[in-house]
Structure 1
Amino acid sequence: MLPATRYSPRLLDIGERIVLAALFSYMVWTFVQDWLEGGSIVTAILLVSEGAVLVFVLVRRFTDDVSFRPGDWALAFVGSSAPLLVHPAGTGANAMLTAFCAILMLAGLMVQLAAKLTLRRSFGAVAANRGVKVGGPYRLVRHPMYAGYLMTHIGFLLINPSAWNALAYSVCSLAQIGRILAEEKLLNADSKYREFVARVRYRLIPGVF
């Protein structure tokens, strides 16, 4: 367990923001190079998607009711950083596949933004209780933001298939599932969240998980 001093949550939170900002800067540099060489529209969509994550991390409110488990922080770091390490593969997909993937990614982006706007400054990466939100897409699944991430990741991977990208997104998906379970373990201490769980059955994909 990390030492639960009154300063620890804030220091850990600030450290997380700095790391994600640095990784996103690296991603922007990589993707801009691809865009200048004639990259696909999915490159721009992914940058907007991951940029939205960073913006909400930077403006979220601080909370002391956050997990101090090293495993939860590791899951948050891996889940947030792994998607920032993918690279455009430049395989020259046909127009139909590009259009399909762009639509899938835009739909995923809309789901993400709807979830983020519902959370507003309650958004976070590490398991924490920043207030229970039950409106918008949270009426459908308990973790719609992660569902949106999954859609954008699948769309990008179909256009940019590579062993590295597949590995990065596989690691990310496993970490996201771990984050979901960690978040629910912490939030289940809140009676409002238990009521929410009773109303919304599925975590990520309706009828599946």
Structure 2
Amino acid sequence: MSTITTETAALVIPLAGSVAYMMHKAIPRLGDALLEVLARVGSASLLGLFAYFAIQHWLADPGRITLLLLVIAECFTVGLSLFTRIPVKRDWTPFAFVCSMGATYYFLAIQLGPGARLVPESIGAALQVSGICWQLVAKASLRRSFGILPANRGVVSCGAYRFVRHPMYLGYLVADIGFLLTNFDLQNVLVYGFQFALQGGRILREERILSSDENYRRYKGNVRYRVIPGVF
């Protein structure tokens, strides 16, 4: 019968401990990875469902270019978030989660049928295109450092971030106003009003996380306003 020598035991025991430790650390990571995959698949499914119904409405009335632009805007917002890198730390508090999810998936509650046109379709579309273009400039500045939940994905101070601290939200605001003015409806007013309030809470939570970073505190000192210069 073979026996384990003292020297062999000295090698085997630490090795076994290391393997057990790695397995212990790997299991939570696998769980997090699975949760991340499920969340992204769910996001893609909701976006696809919304796009299908919105395009059906647009095909029934091709003159409603703002409806088609709404689909494009949401594809940029939600679609690109499916390919972002996973941050080291995210804000999973209930308040941050509700603000982030509500402000992102608000489009599921939008009235897609035609509403009152407070401005011509061309003006609403121009506002949407301006908002979408500004969002793309902001996202190009961030590259893959953006997402849905508040998180520290690195401090960016170049490009659009030289003007306001949250330029992407300014793009959302301009595009949303463009759609609302040409598709005015009580339901849409309530949806967008609620969404604007949630975006405000989302910004505050995001800044709370980022403010623990010395680089971000310096950045705040250089760029005074969050979204709208001179206002907020």
**TM-score normalised per structure 1:** 0.90
User: Could you tell me which of 100, 104, 124 is aligned with 1:101?
Assistant: 124
Question: In 1, Cα distance between the equivalents of 2:188 and 2:31?
Answer: 34
Question: In 2, Cα distance between the equivalents of 1:15 and 1:171?
Answer: 27
* CA deviation profile, 1:93-140 (whole Å, cap 9, x unmatched): 48x621111111110001111111111111111111111111111111
Contiguous gaps of at least 5 residues in structure 1? none
Alignment of 1:161-180 (within 5 A): 161-180=184-203
Q: Number of matched residues?
A: 204
* CA deviation profile, 1:148-180 (whole Å, cap 9, x unmatched): 111111111111111221121111111110010
Sequence identity of aligned pairs in percent?
37
Q: Does 1:208 align with 2:231?
A: yes
Question: In 2, Cα distance between the equivalents of 1:74 and 1:16?
Answer: 15
Instruction: Give, as a single letter, the amino acid of the residue that structure 2 aligns with 1:123.
Output: F
Please tell me whether the aligned partners of residues 27 and 85 of structure 1 are also in contact (alpha carbons under 8 angstroms): no
Question: In 2, Cα distance between the equivalents of 1:123 and 1:99?
Answer: 31
Question: In 1, Cα distance between the equivalents of 2:106 and 2:86?
Answer: 24
Q: Does 1:182 align with 2:208?
A: no
Offset at residue 8 of structure 1 (A): 6.6
* 1:161 match: secondary structure: coil
Q: Does 1:38 align with 2:61?
A: yes
Is the deviation greater in 157-166 or in 16-25?
A: 16-25
Is the deviation greater in 70-79 or in 197-206?
A: 70-79
User: Which of the pair has more CA radius of gyration?
Assistant: 2
Question: In 1, Cα distance between the equivalents of 2:41 and 2:198?
Answer: 20
Offset at residue 88 of structure 1 (A): 2.5
Contiguous gaps of at least 5 residues in structure 2? 1-27
Is the deviation greater in 65-74 or in 109-118?
A: 65-74
User: Could you tell me which of 83, 93, 102 is aligned with 1:69?
Assistant: 93
Moved over 3 A (4+): 5-16, 91-94
Offset at residue 82 of structure 1 (A): 0.7
- The CA RMSD over aligned residues, in Å, is 1.9
